[in-house]
Amino acid sequence: MSSPQDARSFKRVILKLSGEALREPGSKDNISPEIVERVAKEIKLALDTGVEIGVVCGGGNFWRGASASARGMDRATADYVGMLATVMNALALQSALEAEGVKCVVQSAIEMKNVAEPFIRRKANRHLSNNFVVIFAAGTGSPFFSTDTTAALRASEMGADAIMKATMVDGVYDSDPKKNPEAVRYETVTFHNCLAENLKVMDSTAFTLCMDNDIPIIVFDIGGCGNITSALSGDDIGTIIHKG
- The pTM assigned to this predicted structure is 0.91
Q: Is 150 annotated as a binding residue?
A: no
Per-residue pLDDT at 6 exceeds 50:
no
Per-residue pLDDT at 217 exceeds 90:
yes
- Mean pLDDT over the full length of the chain: 91
Q: Is 186 helix (H, G, I), strand (E, B) or coil?
A: strand
Q: Is 143 annotated as a binding residue?
A: yes
Q: Who contacts 72 (Cβ-Cβ below 8 Å, separation ≥6)?
A: none
Q: Is 165 helix (H, G, I), strand (E, B) or coil?
A: strand
Tens of pLDDT, residues 97-154 = 999 999 999 999 999 999 999 999 999 999 999 999 999 999 999 999 999 999 999 9
Q: Is 167 annotated as a binding residue?
A: yes
* Edge-first strand listing for the sheet containing 12-17: 117-118, 104-108, 133-137, 52-57, 12-17, 162-167, 217-221, 239-242, 188-190
Cβ atoms of 22 and 85 within 8 Å: the answer is no
Per-residue pLDDT at 27 exceeds 70:
yes
Task: Give bridge partners of residue 164 from the DSSP assignment.
Answer: 15, 218
Q: Is 72 annotated as a binding residue?
A: no
pLDDT at 68: 82
Q: Is 16 annotated as a binding residue?
A: yes
Tens of pLDDT, residues 149-175 = 999 999 999 999 999 999 888 999 998
Residue 186, domain CATH: 3.40.1160.10
pLDDT at 131: 96
Q: How many domains does the structure of the chain reveal?
A: 1
Q: Is 10 annotated as a binding residue?
A: no
Q: Is 176 annotated as a binding residue?
A: yes
Percentages (nearest 5) of helix, strand, coil residues in the chain: 40, 20, 40
Cβ atoms of 231 and 166 within 8 Å: the answer is yes
Q: Is 86 annotated as a binding residue?
A: no
Q: Is 144 annotated as a binding residue?
A: yes
| pLDDT bracket for residue 223 (50, 70, 90) | confident
Q: Domain residues for 40? A: 4-242
Q: Is 19 annotated as a binding residue?
A: yes
